[in-house]
Amino acid sequence: MNRFDFSTAPYNALTPKQRNTLQAATDIVFFDDNATIITAQDSIEALYIVIKGMVKEIDANQEVLALYHPSDSFDTRALFEQSYRHSFVAVEQSLLYAIPKAIIRQLIEENSDFGAYFFANIADKLKNQADGRREHELAGLFTAKVRDAYRPYDKLHSGTINLIEAAKIMQHNKSKSLLIEHEGKIGLVTESLFRDVFIKNADTLNPFDAVHLWAKFDLISVDIQDFMFTALLKMMHHRIQRVVITKQAKPVGVLEQVDILAFLSNHSHLIAEKLEVATSLDELAEVALQMNHTIWALHSGGMQAKQLSQLMQVLNGRLFEKAWQMIAPDTIVQNSCLLVMGSEGRGEQVLKTDQDNALIVKDSIDIASVRPYADKLSATLERFGYPPCMGKIMVNNPAWCQPVSQFEQTISHWCNNPSPDNLMNLAIFMDARAISGDETLLDRLRGYLYQHLDSDVGMLMNFARAINQFDEDGRGFFMQILGQKKHKMDIKKMGTFPVVHGVRALSLQAKISEINTFERIARLAQLGLIEKQLSQDVSEALAYLMNTRLKNGLTALKHNQELTPNQIATEHLSTLERDLLKDALQVVKRFKNHVSSHFNLQYT
């Protein structure tokens, strides 16, 4: 009977002979309550794996950095160093495997798969965990490639051919579109363009006019190697029916929405088309109710939270926009700017949570005439399944539905009176994204905010300090859950919020235009405000935390439980998931230290 469990990574990569070698060399050791297993700076003799009990890792300040449960190992980082960095203490009576360091090093040299686990940096480990679940999704909706469904063209036609010739070519090719080239530019002619041209210019149109006079040249394109997911997002974002496909920056064909629908006709969860053709609030409500099913189906197919959130950002944005246009008169819609904010604005929200929205209105519009429609929008979104915001950050709150000049005064108040509530309001506004109406109103407010910051450097420090608001006692998450019968953590407070807000603070100082946290991280790395390796680790850690949160939320929905995706029951995580969670939280801590140092928070 084997004493060692070889079912988990990386030990499942060992050959039978290597397993025998490891098992023969492994001892089982016992430690009583509060017994010290390893003291910092001890020489490294063994790798330990918990069989029973719990072990805590602590630093020189007695802060608990990690907890190790059955099947967890420690300290793999130390295998390539001379001494341990931290101390390890048994929280309760614990039984451990002790594998000699020499044996682990020998197996690493003999088995590259086994060794890769120990050499992988945090970003690689977190990314590989996500990638490992994708083998079955290659035929899925958002992992199918553009190359699998686009319509290739043998050649580009000259823009000098006349309208009749263009129509005949499209008829011959049984195509609804035609790519042309004129004076070095690529243009597109479509069936709908022919229809509109002939209807609007019936009296003056000459069928022998050159086709370039009527073609569209401001084209949206995607690469042939892109995912169809990317193409569909662009179509929905720009409200177009087709995109030009390029290969090495040269046009090679067109992909239409109908091509995607035909290729993916077996995917019942595709709701974009239903959303576009909806003509009433009742029809929109039906679409909204299907969204959780869509998320479940896509996640079951292997799609990760980062991709899902991008999709839901587009779908939710279009849903809110259509609802607002059905509710409010066109005069109000065109003279205002409807915003979504918070995680929805950043494109990092998957499941339906609280409404976070606002409405900026031109000064020329009577705000009293707007409020009834704003009230109806909030009620409608609640009907669609988006619950009211507990903090009342919604358009039915006069504080978030104001003329643009009054909004400027509100921003000044937030900056000049940096209370926790005001700073949080500023943070929420920073993530605003326009989804309907006049976007220049939002641009005006952003410009006003940046001008205000130029004369108030201290406000940035106050703003950034919020990264520490959930660990003011200095104990950290692992210390907080010690002694609890059931170990639960708030993954937002301990993980995602410090990353999102720290990135937000750096972005506010740098005045960058990106809103999505992943895009902000990439831009900050380009500017040298985050070291490249840290930026990669932070991005992968955030993606992992988002996936964990999504999985938790979907499980609650499946069992008709209260939706509390932020509350993670750590005892229900697998060994690998706990290991990756510890890695992710260590990255969060490193990033918080970086932000604290950048804004000198440690001295305030």
Residue identified by tokens 């699998």 is 148
CA distances to 273, 338, 413 from 276, in Å = 5, 19, 40
pLDDT band for position 212 (50/70/90)?
confident
Asked if residue 300 has pLDDT above 80, the reply is: no
The phi, psi pair for 336, rounded to 5°, reads: -145, 175
Residue pair 284/323 in contact (Cβ under 8 Å)? The answer is yes
Structure tokens at 394: 């919604």
Q: Is the dihedral of CA 332, 337, 343, 349 positive or negative?
A: positive
For the segment 307-363, what is each residue's pLDDT rounded down to a tens digit? 888 888 888 898 999 999 999 999 999 999 999 999 999 989 888 778 999 999 999
Look at residue 572 in the predicted model and tell me its pLDDT: 67
pLDDT band for position 139 (50/70/90)?
very low
Residue 10: cis peptide before it, omega within 30 degrees of 0: yes
pLDDT band for position 9 (50/70/90)?
confident
Q: Spell out the domain ranges in the chain.
A: 11-119, 146-263, 272-455, 466-603
For the segment 217-256, what is each residue's pLDDT rounded down to a tens digit? 888 889 998 887 778 778 877 778 788 899 888 888 888 8
Q: Cα(516)–Cα(327) distance, rounded to whole angstroms? A: 29
8 closest CA partner among 586, 549, 583, 577 = 577
Asked if residue 437 has pLDDT above 70, the reply is: yes
Look at residue 443 in the predicted model and tell me its pLDDT: 94
Residue pair 157/181 in contact (Cβ under 8 Å)? The answer is yes
For the segment 556-602, what is each residue's pLDDT rounded down to a tens digit? 777 676 666 677 776 667 666 777 888 888 899 899 999 999 998 87
For the domain bounded by 11-119, which CATH number is listed? Answer: 2.60.120.10
Identify the bridge partners of residue 187 per DSSP, sorted by sequence position.
Answer: 180
Is 0.75 topped by the overall pTM?
no
When mean pLDDT is compared across 79-83, 514-518, 542-546, the lowest value belongs to: 79-83
Between 490 and 280, residue with greater pLDDT: 280
Answer CATH for 146-263 from 3.40.109.40, 3.40.50.620, 3.10.580.10, 3.30.70.980:
3.10.580.10
Residue 154: cis peptide before it, omega within 30 degrees of 0: no
How much is the mean pLDDT over the chain?
A: 83
- Hey, how many other C-beta atoms are within 10 angstroms of the C-beta on 317? 21
pLDDT band for position 101 (50/70/90)?
confident
Answer CATH for 466-603 from 3.40.1350, 2.70.98, 1.20.120, 1.20.58:
1.20.120
Domain with residues 272-455, CATH architecture: Orthogonal Bundle (1.10)
Look at residue 114 in the predicted model and tell me its pLDDT: 82
Q: Cα(440)–Cα(432) distance, rounded to whole angstroms? A: 13
Structure tokens at 215: 């073609």
- Angle at Cα 322 formed by Cα 316 and Cα 323, nearest 5°? 90
For the segment 443-480, what is each residue's pLDDT rounded down to a tens digit? 999 999 988 876 566 788 888 988 887 764 445 555 55
Residue pair 161/211 in contact (Cβ under 8 Å)? The answer is yes
